Chain A
Amino acid sequence: MSQKNRLGGGLIDRNQPLSFTFDGKSYSGFAGDTLASALLANGVRLMGRSFKYHRPRGVFSAGSEEPNALVELRGGARREPNSRATVAELYDGLQARSQNHFPSLTFDVLAINDRLSAFLAAGFYYKTFMWPSAFWEKVYEPAIRRAAGLGRLSTEEDPDVYDKGFRHCDLLVIGAGPSGLAAALTAGRAGADVILADEDFMPGGRLLADAGLLSDQTADSWIGKVRGELASLPNVRVMPRTTIFGMYDHGTFGAIERAADHLSEPPADKPRQILWRIYAKRALLAAGATERPIGFENNDRPGIMLAGAMRAFANRWAVTAAKDVVIFTNNDDGHRTARDLAAKGVRISALVDCRADAPASADFEVLKGAEVVDSRGRLGLKSVKVRLQGGSTREIACGALGVAGGWNPNVHLTCHKRGRPAWDAAISAFVPDPNVDPLLRAAGAAAGIFSTHGALQSGMQGAIDALADLGRRAGPIPLPTAEDAPVNVAPFWHVTGGKGRAWLDLQNDVTIKDIRLAHQEGFKSVEHVKRYTTLGMATDQGKTANIGALAIIAELEGKSLPEVGTTIFRPPYTPVTIGAFAGRSRGKEFRPRRLTPSHKWAEEQGAIFVEAGNWMRAQWFPLDGETHWRQSVDREVLAVRKSVGICDVTTLGKIDVQGADAAEFLNHIYCNGFAKLPVGKTRYGLMLREDGMAMDDGTAARLAEDHFIVTTTTANAVSVFRHMEFCRQCLWPGLDVQLISTTEAWAQFAVAGPNSRKLLQKIVDPAHDISNEAFPYMACGEITICGGLRARLFRISFSGELAYEIAVPARYGDALIRRLMDAGEEFDVVPYGTEALSVLRIEKGHAAGNELNGQSTAAMLGMGRMVSQTKDSIGRILAGRPHLIREDDYRLVGLVPVKPEDTLLSGAHLMTVGEAAIAQNDQGWVTSAAYSPHLKSSIGLAFLKSGDKRHGEVIRVVNPLGGSEFDATVSSPHFIDPEGERLRV
């Protein structure tokens, strides 16, 4: 297909033709094109429909600020909505589709919204769709979402990989235009570590877009030389296709490198994008400037675009939007565009300059003191209406209109750390806050220095100054001779007198009228106007829209622009794919997966696993023929109570506490006493938070006078260790005590049941007597097993049976579980999982995570008397607050349904029989529930008001969510062996 709008020259490679499709139709372009330039070359002006009114829209800019030409790129799982055609690098086979229309781009039934615009003004959804309120979620919102929206997300999983990386440098140069190149070269020659990042795929910035900026050489040749030299310097890293999207604290910058977006798919094993965290000692913002439009009626038609963009399309991409063009300007830069276009053979039908003293031209007609006031052409511009200096109007036919309203420095990054831009009247634009972070300087157009000479010089000087901060000297370097034209601009934001709509924010369909309406309704601050009208939101964040709106607010408020101020710019500068923030942390890699030492063995047994924090724990071990989990769990529970079972409890936190003052330290962190615990004994310990609430429980085993092993719950292993370090370093720094977490170092198994001792005696070396007399309940010690392997043995029980926990170095964990299972064969040993563990502890009435949920006191848990009043421990004082020690507070109780067919569920609430089931009558709640195969009944643990005095009472168990209500009998929480005799045999 012919590229009817392709001009001569340009920086495209005509030897590399590329084919692509747009809305299913094939077109051709060249290497070096963007999707936007290639579409324009093929005469395609209409590229999408607007957000709210479904107005036909075309490309508006030539860069990352694009509000209009948003397309769906690629297809299938790689479909990316809202991609800016102006920065989508063309590759062979590229597929793009226009978005936000039905049934087609040229005929969109939702364009009816444009006729209904009177009802769709700013804040319409707050006003129109208020009643009935139930309609909002089900009717209004889905309908509005369908009508007002952008592209469609692919709902398939992203097949590509995203990476993260970290880089460090002395100087980060942001932007590779004339100032950025000069800065990088200056710093690079001085030997500094330099990163030069540029969002474009080709370095040069404005030098690529404008003709004749350098006078002693061509821009191409200078860029080529600089590029070559930078590539040769080992201390300089050039990062093309990389946007610095945010500045964070202490010289940290966020960067997104689009490593493979310019390919149809990334090379095998290579990431599509890389999120870089760059640590820079100094940074230079050389991000250039963005042109701003001028408001007039119907200024949103395809073919109406920024004049500078037209110039860039012509010079860099050898493309014009149309053969005949009108330029509308308030400054000299519009004349540069007209000259460059004319030099490329484009007909300039007129240059409309609102200034009465505009310079004349020999090449085209200049209409001084004139304004473009309206336009025609439904799917593309056909003509503009010009109001001449005298007030008469003239219709001028044209296929494209370039609007030049002056340039705004890209100050965004200087605002990310709360810098507020300052108004520079000489260029009628906001420039960077002079008091912004001293790490960051600005140069060139980003600093409001618009001439090429100024850009080159300020880039070099910026690098010299930045390196001087670091105590490094950089010499001046020779730079090309360049144009040094002054800025000559008359502030002019929009034409007046029109009755129709003039667009400010093309992406969100916000018009000048909307701003006036918002102001009339009391939304006067810029931040309020932004949120009420949506001006400056969405993917472009109003890069081309904000300043025009500020000017209107200033007019309405009777203030100057700097008095009105800007909204705060926040990261990211341009959109960043969420996939890049996720990086490799997705699917199974979302978080670490920790395996217990017996994991491989458990897998061999066909265990069902459950996530417990980061750990995978065996939940139960089904046998052949067991079809329901309850069959397996009931069997495991009964086997433990009858003979012996084994459970991997490695996941419990283990903290080694050593030092002369170790016992005193434990006295501080546990509410009960540890100073008098003899060597060779273990004690249950309850830790409180300083506010008096129970934090965690576990055991501390004293292996030596100065050596304890503290265990924590699986869930709190990290936070308890952190808390203990806080106590050690911040509260009692004079104690001689050291801590280390040994959770991963030891494999630990619970061996529980009446035959547990007999089983262990088969593997414990004969030198160690573990008879009841020599190794009684709560004993602990260092032993050897299996002929010399060092191990630790603790006679502690979570199940209520005679039980031990045995620990060996983690690498022997797999061997130990196999040895224990072999040795236990004669006792019909079973492995048991976390479900059976839970049933066993509920039967025994032991508190666990459901009871230790951060809202329970020691008294609630039935351990109020454990809180020692004779020593200084964490939480002791505030645990004594009157409301926490009320006699009628909640107490842990057991529950058994009166009718065996009823099933307790945790979360159900308790009501006194005869009282209404309402919140005011609430007596407590069920914390844990299980089926007890031992009692052949559903049982539960619960917190009940004055529960310790209500054993035997029948109470209502109410579960409004599940719709159940039944009676249960209150009991002691200890369903099994309340005297603890089994533990001591």
Chain B
Amino acid sequence: MIINHPLLGPRDAQEFVYLGDARLIDRPDTMSETALDDFHAYLYLRDNPAGSHRELWYHEQGDRSWLVVTRDTTTHEILHVELASDYAKQRGRDR
């Protein structure tokens, strides 16, 4: 597989480490009253879509960027790649 790194161009998937669903970026609020349930859902309940899937890949043998890769799980076609930090900021994460 080849991942088109937004900064470095096309790179072989061997250089990356796969983590999983990009929803791991949406970490719940630890101060919420429902935090225990929220974290349970966050950590253990995942969709397993046949089709487009946003997932986290880490360029460990490269520039150490975490990337959000949108991949079709049925064809392995890669539809979009972006820096996870940019994506996280779009999702409202900050500090």
By a beta-carbon cutoff of 8 Å, the part of chain A in contact with chain B is 248-252, 279, 417-418, 661, 664, 690-691, 718, 722, 725-726, 729-735, 872, 876-878, 880-881
A691 to chain B: closest residue by CB: B43
Are B93 and A733 closer than 8 Å at their CB atoms?
yes
A-B pairs with lowest CB-CB distance, top 10: A734-B94, A734-B95, A733-B85, A250-B2, A249-B1, A729-B85, A249-B76, A877-B39, A729-B66, A872-B30
Are A731 and B1 closer than 8 Å at their CB atoms?
no
Are B1 and A252 closer than 8 Å at their CB atoms?
yes
Q: In the bound complex, what is the Cα–Cα distance between A734 and B35 (angstroms)?
A: 22
Instruction: List residues of chain A with CB within 8 A of the CB of B94.
Output: 732-734
A740 to chain B: closest residue by CB: B64
A437 to chain B: closest residue by CB: B75
B81 in contact (CB, < 8 A)? no
For window 19-41 of chain B, which residues contact chain A by CB distance below 8 Å? 19, 24-25, 27-28, 30-31, 35-36, 38-40
Cβ contacts B60-87/A at 8 Å (1 or 0 each): 1000111000000001101000011100
Among B42, B66, B94, max chain A CB count under 10 A is at B66
Instruction: List residues of chain B with CB within 8 A of the CB of A872.
Output: 30-31
Instruction: List residues of chain B with CB within 8 A of the CB of A722.
Output: 17, 58, 60
B3 to chain A: closest residue by CB: A250
User: Min CB distance, B9 to chain A, in Å?
Assistant: 13
Instruction: List residues of chain B with CB within 8 A of the CB of A725.
Output: 58, 64, 66
B71 to chain A: closest residue by CB: A249
Are A730 and B1 closer than 8 Å at their CB atoms?
no
Q: In the bound complex, what is the Cα–Cα distance between A880 and B38 (angstroms)?
A: 13
Instruction: List residues of chain A with CB within 8 A of the CB of B75.
Output: 417-418
User: Min CB distance, A658 to chain B, in Å?
Assistant: 15
Question: Out of A250, A732, A734, which one reaches B76, CB within 8 Å?
Answer: A250
By DSSP majority rule, is chain B's interface helix, strand, loop, or mixed?
mixed
Q: In the bound complex, what is the Cα–Cα distance between A876 and B27 (angstroms)?
A: 13
Q: In the bound complex, what is the Cα–Cα distance between A250 and B69 (angstroms)?
A: 14
Q: In the bound complex, what is the Cα–Cα distance between A878 and B43 (angstroms)?
A: 10
Q: In the bound complex, what is the Cα–Cα distance between A248 and B88 (angstroms)?
A: 31
Q: In the bound complex, what is the Cα–Cα distance between A664 and B94 (angstroms)?
A: 13
Are B88 and A730 closer than 8 Å at their CB atoms?
yes
Question: Out of B30, B42, B84, which one reaches A729, CB within 8 Å?
Answer: B84
Question: Out of B1, B13, B58, B93, which one reaches A726, CB within 8 Å?
Answer: B58
Q: In the bound complex, what is the Cα–Cα distance between A735 and B65 (angstroms)?
A: 16
Known contacts A732-B94, A872-B30; 4 additional CB pairs below 8 A are A726-B19, A726-B58, A726-B66, A730-B24
Question: Out of B40, B60, B88, which one reaches A731, CB within 8 Å?
Answer: B88
12 cross-chain CB contacts under 8 A: A248-B1, A249-B76, A664-B95, A722-B17, A722-B60, A725-B58, A725-B64, A733-B85, A733-B93, A735-B95, A872-B31, A877-B39
Instruction: List residues of chain B with CB within 8 A of the CB of A718.
Output: 60
User: Min CB distance, B76 to chain A, in Å?
Assistant: 4
Are B36 and A732 closer than 8 Å at their CB atoms?
no
User: Min CB distance, B74 to chain A, in Å?
Assistant: 8
Are B30 and A733 closer than 8 Å at their CB atoms?
no
Q: In the bound complex, what is the Cα–Cα distance between A664 and B95 (angstroms)?
A: 9
User: Min CB distance, A334 to chain B, in Å?
Assistant: 41
Question: Out of B25, B36, B43, which one reaches A880, CB within 8 Å?
Answer: B36
Are B84 and A730 closer than 8 Å at their CB atoms?
yes
Are B39 and A249 closer than 8 Å at their CB atoms?
no
Q: In the bound complex, what is the Cα–Cα distance between A730 and B56 (angstroms)?
A: 9
B27 to chain A: closest residue by CB: A731
User: Min CB distance, B61 to chain A, in Å?
Assistant: 11
B56 to chain A: closest residue by CB: A730
Instruction: List residues of chain A with CB within 8 A of the CB of B58.
Output: 722, 725-726
B89 in contact (CB, < 8 A)? yes
Are B35 and A877 closer than 8 Å at their CB atoms?
yes
Are A876 and B30 closer than 8 Å at their CB atoms?
yes
CB-CB under 8 A for A252 and B2, given A722-B17, A732-B95, A880-B36: yes
Are B36 and A661 closer than 8 Å at their CB atoms?
no
Q: In the bound complex, what is the Cα–Cα distance between A252 and B14 (angstroms)?
A: 12
Instruction: List residues of chain B with CB within 8 A of the CB of A733.
Output: 84-85, 88-89, 93-94
Instruction: List residues of chain B with CB within 8 A of the CB of A249.
Output: 1-2, 13, 76
User: Min CB distance, A843 to chain B, in Å?
Assistant: 37
Q: In the bound complex, what is the Cα–Cα distance between A211 and B95 (angstroms)?
A: 76
Instruction: List residues of chain A with CB within 8 A of the CB of B30.
Output: 872, 876-877
Instruction: List residues of chain A with CB within 8 A of the CB of B17.
Output: 722
A882 to chain B: closest residue by CB: B36
Are A734 and B89 closer than 8 Å at their CB atoms?
yes
Q: In the bound complex, what is the Cα–Cα distance between A128 and B12 (angstroms)?
A: 50
Instruction: List residues of chain A with CB within 8 A of the CB of B36.
Output: 877-878, 880-881
Question: Out of A250, A417, A661, A730, which one reaches B85, CB within 8 Å?
Answer: A730
Q: In the bound complex, what is the Cα–Cα distance between A664 and B31 (angstroms)?
A: 17
Are B88 and A729 closer than 8 Å at their CB atoms?
yes
Instruction: List residues of chain A with CB within 8 A of the CB of B42.
Output: 690
Instruction: List residues of chain B with CB within 8 A of the CB of A732.
Output: 93-95
Among A251, A718, A877, max chain B CB count under 10 A is at A877
Among B2, B64, B85, B95, max chain A CB count under 10 A is at B95
User: Min CB distance, B73 to chain A, in Å?
Assistant: 12
Instruction: List residues of chain A with CB within 8 A of the CB of B38.
Output: 877
A721 to chain B: closest residue by CB: B64
User: Min CB distance, A720 to chain B, in Å?
Assistant: 13
Instruction: List residues of chain B with CB within 8 A of the CB of A690.
Output: 27, 39, 42-43
Q: In the bound complex, what is the Cα–Cα distance between A734 and B93 (angstroms)?
A: 7
User: Min CB distance, A707 to chain B, in Å?
Assistant: 19
Q: In the bound complex, what is the Cα–Cα distance between A729 and B43 (angstroms)?
A: 18
Instruction: List residues of chain B with CB within 8 A of the CB of A735.
Output: 95
Q: In the bound complex, what is the Cα–Cα distance between A872 and B30 (angstroms)?
A: 6
User: Min CB distance, A889 to chain B, in Å?
Assistant: 18
Instruction: List residues of chain A with CB within 8 A of the CB of B60.
Output: 718, 722
Q: In the bound complex, what is the Cα–Cα distance between A726 and B25 (angstroms)?
A: 9
Q: In the bound complex, what is the Cα–Cα distance between A249 and B95 (angstroms)?
A: 37
Q: In the bound complex, what is the Cα–Cα distance between A250 and B78 (angstroms)?
A: 9
Q: In the bound complex, what is the Cα–Cα distance between A731 and B85 (angstroms)?
A: 8
Instruction: List residues of chain A with CB within 8 A of the CB of B95.
Output: 661, 664, 732, 734-735
Instruction: List residues of chain A with CB within 8 A of the CB of B40.
Output: 878
User: Min CB distance, A821 to chain B, in Å?
Assistant: 37
Instruction: List residues of chain A with CB within 8 A of the CB of B83.
Output: 729
Among A733, A872, A876, max chain B CB count under 10 A is at A733
Instruction: List residues of chain B with CB within 8 A of the CB of A730.
Output: 24-25, 56, 66, 84-85, 88, 93
Q: In the bound complex, what is the Cα–Cα distance between A248 and B13 (angstroms)?
A: 12
A690 to chain B: closest residue by CB: B43
CB-CB under 8 A for A250 and B1, given A725-B64, A733-B93: yes
Instruction: List residues of chain B with CB within 8 A of the CB of A691.
Output: 43
A718 to chain B: closest residue by CB: B60
User: Min CB distance, B65 to chain A, in Å?
Assistant: 7
Instruction: List residues of chain A with CB within 8 A of the CB of B19.
Output: 726
Q: In the bound complex, what is the Cα–Cα distance between A268 and B78 (angstroms)?
A: 44
Q: In the bound complex, what is the Cα–Cα distance between A722 and B13 (angstroms)?
A: 17
Q: In the bound complex, what is the Cα–Cα distance between A440 and B85 (angstroms)?
A: 36
Instruction: List residues of chain A with CB within 8 A of the CB of B78.
Output: 250
Instruction: List residues of chain B with CB within 8 A of the CB of A251.
Output: 2
